[in-house]
Amino acid sequence: MHARNAMTGAGGILEVFTDKPTIIPKGALGFMLKRVKGTKEIPFASIIPIQFKKAGVWSGYLHSTTPEGKESKSRILAATQDENTFMFRDKRRRPTGGRRPPR
C-alpha cells in the first residue's frame, strides 16, 4: 500500500495511509530523540485527541494520544522524545545571520 501523503520532518518521516499514520525515525537525530526501533504505526481508530503546535522559533509538532500511550504531562520537551509525536520545522524561518528573512 502506498502512502496518501508524506512529509519529512525533524528526525523523521510522517506517512499517512487511509487507515493509519506512520512515523519513521530517520538519521541520528531521529533515533537519538525517539529511541524507537523502526516504524511507529498508529491506527486512526486508536487515536483519542491530536495536539498540533505550529512551527515558529522552535519546531512544531503533531502529537497523537492513544489509550495505551505513556505520554508525559509536559509539552515541548517531552514531545521531542514521545514515540507518537512527529516534529517539523518551518523552513521559511531559517537563521539568517542577523538579517530578517524576506517576506
Q: What pLDDT was estimated at residue 67?
A: 86
- pLDDT value for 19: 95
Torsion angles phi and psi, residue 96, rounded to 5: -120, 20
Q: Give the pLDDT means over successive 10-residue stretches in the chain (103 positions).
A: 88 92 82 70 92 86 81 60 84 54 53
Question: Rounded CA gap, 64 and 47, in Å?
Answer: 6
Domain interval for residue 21 = 5-92
Closest CA to 17 of 37, 35, 3: 3
pTM check: above 0.75: no
**Which pLDDT belongs to residue 69?**
66
Phi, psi of 80 (to 5 degrees): -65, -25
- Give a yes or no: residue 30 inside a domain: yes
pLDDT score at 94: 54
Per-residue pLDDT, 98: 45
15: alpha, beta or left? (left if phi > 0; alpha if psi -120 to 50): beta
Number of domains in the chain: 1
- Residue 103 in any domain: the answer is no
**Whole-number pLDDT of residue 17:** 95
Per the CB < 8 A criterion, the answer to whether 13 and 61 are in contact is no
Bridge-partner residues for 8, per DSSP? 13
* 101, part of any domain: no
- 52 in a structural domain: yes
